[in-house]
Amino acid sequence: PVAPYDSENIFAKILRGEIPANTVYEDDHALAFHDINPQADVHILVIPRGAYVSWDDFSANASADEIAGFVRAVGHVARDKGLVVRGYRLLSNIGRNGGQEVPHLHVHLFGGGPLGPMLA
């Protein structure tokens, strides 16, 4: 990874229960919660439980089990929220040029209405 994992990042604190989150789904591999500053009617963040800085770190270093579990969880949340028929958007910001603010991998899930050209 570009930088070592910072275990004091805000999503690490949410995973440890040190900071509250509005959780919509959790399992062994993933946690999903509402974004604190929503950019769409539905704006959920899905994060792996493992300590991965970004999609780059995760895709290079996570186990196949972790990757499968996380990808399954993202799909599950979208289906569970009824977003599939009308459609939705997934996005992950990676690093400086991507505009990543929190250094724990997260996938933004946007939906609930027509989306503009770009979000987050």
Told to check if 33 binds ligand 5GP by CB under 6 A, we report: yes
Beta strand ranges found along the chain (DSSP E): 23-26, 30-34, 42-48, 89-91, 107-111
Paired strand residues for 44: 34, 109
Nearer to ligand 5GP (CB atom), residue 83 or residue 109: 109
Q: Which of 36, 60, 84, 90 binds ligand 5GP (CB under 6 A)?
A: 36
Told to check if 120 binds ligand 5GP by CB under 6 A, we report: yes
Q: Which stretch binds ligand 5GP (CB under 6 A): 33-41, 54-62, 67-75, 78-86?
A: 33-41
19 and 9 in contact (C-beta within 8 Å)?
no
Please count the residues of the chain.
120
| In the complex, minimum distance from the CB of residue 84 to ligand 5GP, in angstroms, rounded to a whole number | 22
Told to check if 9 binds ligand 5GP by CB under 6 A, we report: no
Exposure b/e, 1-28, CB count within 10 A at least 16 = b: eeeebeeebbbbebbeeeeebeebbeee
From the list 29, 43, 104, 106, the catalytic residue is 106
Residues 84-113 that bind ligand 5GP (CB under 6 A): 93, 99-102
Query: Annotated catalytic sites, by residue?
Result: 106
